[in-house]
Amino acid sequence: MFKLSLKLILLSILSFSAMATDLKVGDTAPNFRLQSTDGNFYQLSDYLGKQTLVLAWYPMANTHGCTLECRSLVQKGHLIREFNAVYMMASVDDLEDNQDFAKKQKADFPMLSDPSKETAKAYDVLNFVRVASRVTFYVGKDGKIIKIDEDINAATAAEDIAANLKKLGVEKSD
């Protein structure tokens, strides 16, 4: 019960704690190497010269807004896969928490865990309650940030990502 109450308190704080990142469009995105719910490690450098990377930071597994965002990506991920882009969600949750979350939501994309919080710090998304703010980064094939979205509608995340990829001129998949 205490853990649930703590989560509710954190979520209340999170709704007022969004903070702008110091990273800007045109900056080189920080590289990362994080383990995913599928057991594999993913890093930005794997996609350089190949695909646009969409990295969607979220506050906490198994919470309402994060569940909505994940469900959107599961149900409408085909809209994103029309583009030469890969998308991932990332949080500072432990791998086991994210694996449980991914299994419940039937996630068919990498969900990255950053329990050390080093990558969240590099992306400047770690907020004062020590979880990631909900921010989505779009990183071009050259490793440069091409868009930072801090106004996320969790329920329409997939549609919004696809629309942004189109606006950014990301080519369609073969």
Reported as a single tens digit per residue, the pLDDT across 140-154 is 999 999 999 999 999
> Rounded CA gap, 138 and 144, in Å?
9
Q: From edge to edge, which strands make up the β-sheet containing 111-113? A: 41-43, 33-36, 111-113, 85-91, 52-57, 136-139, 145-149
Query: Binning pLDDT at 50, 70 and 90, where does residue 21 land?
Result: low
Number of other CB atoms surrounding residue 35 within 10 Å: 18
Write down the pLDDT at residue 173: 87
> Rounded CA gap, 144 and 122, in Å?
14
Write down the pLDDT at residue 58: 92
pLDDT of 10 > 80? The answer is: no
Write down the pLDDT at residue 45: 95
Q: How far apart, in Å, are the Cα atoms of 104 and each of 34, 55, 71, 130, 157?
A: 21, 21, 10, 24, 18
**Mean of the pLDDT values across residues 33-40?**
96
pLDDT of 1 > 80? The answer is: no
Is residue 101 left, alpha or beta, with left meaning phi > 0 and alpha meaning psi from -120 to 50? alpha
> Rounded CA gap, 51 and 141, in Å?
5
- The answer to whether the beta carbons of residues 122 and 164 sit under 8 Å apart is no
pLDDT of 13 > 60? The answer is: no
> Rounded CA gap, 40 and 123, in Å?
21
Write down the pLDDT at residue 174: 75
Reported as a single tens digit per residue, the pLDDT across 60-118 is 888 888 889 999 999 999 999 999 999 999 999 999 999 999 999 999 999 999 999 99
pLDDT of 126 > 50? The answer is: yes
pLDDT of 26 > 80? The answer is: yes
Write down the pLDDT at residue 20: 52
> What domains are there in the chain, each with its CATH number?
2-167 (3.40.30.10)
